A and B are shown apart, each in its own frame.
Chain A
């Protein structure tokens, strides 16, 4: 409907943490999260979609960094077999689980 006035979205998007860190990430990589995908859906035209910037008020920089790392990790290996394990620091695992749950990363990602 409102699609006609949408410019071609940028290849990169910005993810911002509650404590002020910003990560510029490949759009395709972050689409692994259905929640972020919904935010950036050009059809819906929420503010995130219009600005290309997602602000996560309740996720801190350390955790968000790991999330971004995971996004890249997923993007890099999504079509490979024999993928090396991603290193997850033990002290972050609970917070990461929570973030993953929030972002919908806790289930099998479907390829965009």
Chain B
């Protein structure tokens, strides 16, 4: 501090008027005099009589005492005075309030006292504490003001805490920490205070109304007091004493509550109660106790009410997560999600429970499918895709249709399930990514566990593209396509799907069954987007073939017209030239694997043979060296038939000639042409027909059945006349009495769809698939090795799996087998260690 009075100054500087320090004699005297005034003032302040006191005077007394270097004395006297004040004025009424009753209620939890009584006892005590505190705080503020110079002139120099901190701390030492030995217990007032506050809070938790403001002021007192007069921020009494106690008792409270809820076994009420408790505790921190505790009390609730018994609540029968999902209890799920998210950012429990449920429901779909009888057209429940198609045929469905129905049901069910969970995800789970991942994974798992998934998805698309899209708006079509793509994304064995789709697409294209070229293209382009160019190459090739074929057909027509040899009997040819690689093998007549097997080469009638020759000449004119194979099973023919009038019939349709245009498969045409040369009533046996046409037996059975069994299309008569399929040993004749209202008749090819394979076929498909996979695997291994030259076994296997996983999930045995096979074929070699033993490493053999 600057020289107070000491320096003599230079020239004109006026010295301060009078210096106290210059009168040492009166020092002691003055101090007592000043202190007497100050003590009186302190007393007046406590009794609210400060109105007549002059602040300036009191301040000046303190100022002078400090200048007299008697600050320490003043400091101690003030402290002493306040301590005495507590002992004499505050403690007696306080002790009177802390009755044995209060102690035993709050600390010992003595029973037998009504809540009302407990509350009023507690409130009375708290109110008294509050009043004491407020008075004291007020008085100490005033003290600190008039003793301001004490802090500045003495306290700071001597490193004493501010007089305010010291005197306010007296409240802690003289009141809160006062041992209650007098009442026969070993408690401090503080214990009683804490316990009373907690007791009040617990009352509120139980639904009673309490005086929140009262609690708040008691708590803010604790916030304003510190463990020591140094007033370290982290040593607020609230934090050091009250809060731990509060959290501990809250743990107890909620542990009991959670156990009760668990006994009640209602997850729904547990969710709501927990949510309510969290809100309550949050609000309580704001209004009743301190916001400082908000996080901490929330984590107490999180721990006791959520974490500890989460799995048990999830598994509750009738209200657990299963019931929530099954009964669409969105609200429950929403709360559940928000609660689980509080305790676990990865929501593991919820995720696992959801996954499990998805798989269970997925299995149910599969079981339902096995238990459902598709032999009768479903009239309810199976959904609309089956609805309009099947209504016209209320009779029993054939095997293929049954399987289509099953496929559609399966797809619908799976999509419904997916929709449901997607909705839950949006509505309840806040679109949380980890949940989506878990859902997707579990969907993929159960879809791929179902071995017909690939086939069913393809069938679903097939069915929709054939007839499901009729009369649908663009948006609706879009939805169907989306559905298909959604499922497709989940399929693990995409190569399998590819081959099914190829087959189904081929049939649609060749038989002209596709509803809309545009939608077909859209489907392909979506697949391309999802699965890449490679995947759709073959499909696009098929479309290309169809387009080129149309052009070729036109060119050929022009060519024929140019030749000028138009005859009455000229046959109109509509040809599809299919490039071998793009189309499924079954269609290409290579099902048996014998490419040029004569057995599969049907004998065409001479008219047709002429036509074939003519086209072949035309076609090879520009394309030298190409081979065309005629696929009788894949085409159709329009045959104009004349049914002569039946003798003896005078009226009705049978009395005149009837002309019909019959659309049959190419094989069907061959069979019909055979009957051109027979006499009326001449019967041909199955074997005769087979020998004359050389049509493969299964195809022949299909053709003959379609022509002779269904009533509206019975162009041929069969003997024996049963409804079963044609078989070797039957005889057939031309049905002279055939009548139809329509002129153009399309003979439905029985089993033509061949929509779903029987078991044997499926086995074959699988075998073929495996064969293809082997080739694919080979090529992938070689490609990798060619690039890397050298790799360890594990590295190689990992890379192969990575590359293949877009197409299918390769099995280890497959990869290992192919590596062995490539080694034996000298594409790879096993590296050798110096001692000649084989190393775990492969080398590429260039």
Contacts and interface: CB of A to CB of B under 8 A. Distances in A.
Interface in B127-170: 134, 138, 141-142, 145-146, 148-149, 152
Contacts of B149: 35, 102, 104
Contacts of A102: 60, 63, 149
Contact of A94 (B15, B48, B138, B141): B15
Interface in A76-112: 90-95, 97-98, 101-102, 104
B56 A48 contact: yes
Contacts of B12: 90-91
Contacts of A104: 148-149, 152
B56 A98 contact: no
Given A39-B55, A58-B18, 6 more contacts: A46-B53, A46-B55, A54-B55, A60-B17, A91-B13, A102-B63
A1 B142 CA distance: 13
28 contacts: A2-B48, A34-B148, A38-B59, A38-B146, A39-B56, A39-B59, A41-B145, A43-B138, A44-B50, A44-B55, A44-B142, A44-B145, A46-B54, A46-B55, A46-B58, A48-B55, A50-B51, A54-B56, A55-B56, A60-B17, A91-B12, A91-B13, A94-B14, A94-B15, A97-B2, A97-B4, A104-B148, A104-B152
A60 to B, nearest CB: 7
Interface string B16-30: 111000000000000
Contacts of A45: 50-51
Contact of A47 (B13, B17, B53): B53
B16 A98 contact: yes
Interface string B353-388: 000000000000000000000000000000000000
Residue among A2, A41, A47 with the most chain B CB within 10 A?
A47
B305 to A, nearest CB: 43
B154 to A, nearest CB: 13
A43 B141 contact: yes
B92 interface: no
Nearest to A2: B48
B15 to A, nearest CB: 6
A47 B60 contact: no
Nearest to B15: A94
A46 B50 contact: yes
Contacts of B60: 57-58, 102
Nearest to B1: A101
Nearest to B134: A1
A55 B17 contact: no
Residue among A34, A58, A60 with the most chain B CB within 10 A?
A58
A2 to B, nearest CB: 7
Q: What does DSSP make chain B's interface, helix, strand, loop or mixed?
A: helix
A56 interface: yes
Contacts of B1: 101
Residue among B17, B56, B60, B141 with the most chain A CB within 10 A?
B56
Contacts of A56: 56
Given A45-B51, A47-B52, A101-B1, A94 B148 contact: no
A35 B59 contact: yes
A48 B54 contact: yes
Contacts of A1: 48, 134, 138
A54 B32 CA distance: 25
Interface in A25-72: 34-35, 38-39, 41, 43-50, 54-58, 60
Nearest to B59: A35
B134 A101 contact: no
Contact of A91 (B14, B48, B54): B14
Contacts of B18: 58
A101 B16 CA distance: 13
Interface residues of A, number: 32
- Which 9 A/B pairs are nearest by Cβ-Cβ distance? A38-B145, A46-B55, A39-B55, A91-B12, A44-B142, A98-B16, A48-B55, A91-B14, A47-B54
A92 to B, nearest CB: 7
A90 B14 CA distance: 9
Nearest to A97: B2
A95 to B, nearest CB: 5
Contacts of B48: 1-2
Contacts of B134: 1
A73 B536 CA distance: 86
Nearest to A98: B16
A71 B372 CA distance: 97
A93 B12 CA distance: 10
B389 to A, nearest CB: 85
B9 interface: yes
Given A1-B134, A101-B1, A92 B14 contact: yes
Contacts of B16: 94-95, 98
Nearest to A16: B56
A101 B50 contact: no
Contacts of A35: 59, 148-149
A44 B141 CA distance: 8
A91 B59 CA distance: 27
A47 B4 CA distance: 30
A43 B139 CA distance: 10
B17 A95 contact: yes
Contacts of A92: 14
Contacts of A98: 4, 16
Given A94-B9, A97-B2, A47 B55 contact: yes
A81 B48 CA distance: 44
Contacts of B56: 39, 48, 54-57
Contacts of B15: 94
B182 to A, nearest CB: 30
Given A90-B13, A101-B1, A55 B54 contact: yes
A93 to B, nearest CB: 6
B13 A94 contact: yes
B4 A101 contact: yes
A39 B57 CA distance: 10
Contacts of B152: 104
A38 B1 CA distance: 23
A84 to B, nearest CB: 24
Contacts of B63: 102
B146 A47 contact: no
Nearest to A59: B17
Contacts of A58: 17-18, 60
Contacts of A44: 50, 55, 141-142, 145
Interface in B664-711: none
Contacts of B138: 1, 43
B148 A38 contact: yes
A48 B54 CA distance: 6
Contacts of A54: 55-56
Interface string B42-70: 00000010111111111110010000000
A38 B146 CA distance: 7
Nearest to B57: A57
A30 B163 CA distance: 24
A38 B55 contact: yes
B59 A95 contact: no
A18 B58 CA distance: 16
A33 to B, nearest CB: 10
A55 to B, nearest CB: 6
Contacts of A41: 145
A92 B51 CA distance: 35
Nearest to A39: B55
Interface in B503-533: none
A39 B52 CA distance: 12
Nearest to B51: A45
A50 B623 CA distance: 119
Nearest to A41: B145
A62 B15 CA distance: 14
Nearest to B41: A46
Nearest to B52: A47
A34 to B, nearest CB: 6
Interface in A6-34: 34
Nearest to B7: A94
Contacts of A55: 54, 56
